[in-house]
Structures are given as C-alpha cells and as structure tokens.
Amino acid sequence: RPPVSNMYESMVYMNWAVMVFAALFALGTRNIVYLSAGCAVSALVMIYGNLLPIDSNLEVLVPVLRSNYWLTIHVMTIVSSYGAFGLAMARGHRHLFLEIKGKFSKAAQEDSALLIYRVIQLGVLLLGIGTVLGGVWANESWGRFWGWDPKETWALITFLAYLVVVHLKFSKKIDAHWLAISSVLGFFFVMM
C-alpha cells in the first residue's frame, strides 16, 4: 500500500514529493536553488516529524482506507500538493531573506517570484484534483460527495486561499514581495 495511512507516513511521503518537485524544477530551470530549498524543507519536516509524539508504527488500515485504488490516487495527490506548497514556502523564505539583505536586483526578484508562482500553480492543480477525487471516494464509500467534515473543509479553504494568490498574481495585483509573503503564510493553511 502507499505510505500515506498515518501522519508519520504522510510526512515522509510529503518530503519525497518536495524533493522530486525540487529536482524537477531544478532541472527544468537549471537553478540549483530549488534543491537547496527542497533539502531545507525536507530536513525541517523530518526533524519535526521525529520530535512529535506521533505513531510511526504500521497498523492495520481502517476499512475505509482499504481501497488501495483511492488511497493511492486521492491521498498521494493531496500530499503531493503539500510538497509543492512546502517548496513554494521555502522559496518564499529565501526570497524574503535575500530581499531583507538587499542582495536582490529587480530582475532577480521577478525571476524568483515567477518560480514561486509556478510551484504554487502546481500545488493548486494537485490540490484541486485531489479534493475532487476525495469527493468521488467519499461518494463511493459513504454515499455522499461532500460532508463538510474538518478534512474536507480545510482542503477547500486551503485550495481557495492558494487560488486567491494565483488569481492576484495573474491579474498583477500583488508584486514579488507579497507573493513571497503569501507563499509563506499560505503554508499555515496546509498545516491546519
């Protein structure tokens, strides 16, 4: 089964997704900074995961999670979106740090913002697809597409929050600085 049946496994899988996205974006843009940002986020999440009092043991899955098909598609898509948002958060931190240090030209700021924006777009796409697939799985399991339980509600809130960021950047209502701040603050929605 895919490694996403408990919180610890999901954190490990999210780190894997962060590193895969970091490697792909580093190869696509020929910018090694993606790898360093991905490594930093991955290390912090693993340290956090090991410090938390969460169970890392493998247990028998509850009946609703025994659908390996939906567990694989829905949960791995959602957790992959968290990896993309984690990478965007790391890039946002880097952007803000370099901005404070005064080591950014205007062109470098715009390049950095474009890269943050692309990662957020990927996360929004994955989160949107994953949320709809979760509704399909819920309909198959419980006979309802949407039930407003806390996971469904926060998935929707997170999706809408990042969608606002994408819309504001697309319509040029926020600049590079505010996009970086949004990428950092947006990750709080993921952590909820």
Check residue 49 and give its pLDDT: 77
Check residue 96 and give its pLDDT: 94
In the chain, where does DSSP find H-type helix? 7-29, 33-51, 68-70, 76-101, 106-142, 150-170, 176-191
Residue 181, pLDDT above cutoff 80: yes
Check residue 52 and give its pLDDT: 77
How much is the pTM? Answer: 0.84
Check residue 56 and give its pLDDT: 64
Give Cα 93 to chain centroid, integer Å: 15
3-class secondary structure, 61: coil
Encoded tokens for 6: 């408990």
Asked if 165 and 186 count as a contact pair (C-beta separation under 8 A), the reply is yes
pLDDT confidence band for 105 (50 / 70 / 90): confident
- For the segment 69-97, the average pLDDT, to the nearest whole number, is 89
Asked if 49 and 8 count as a contact pair (C-beta separation under 8 A), the reply is yes
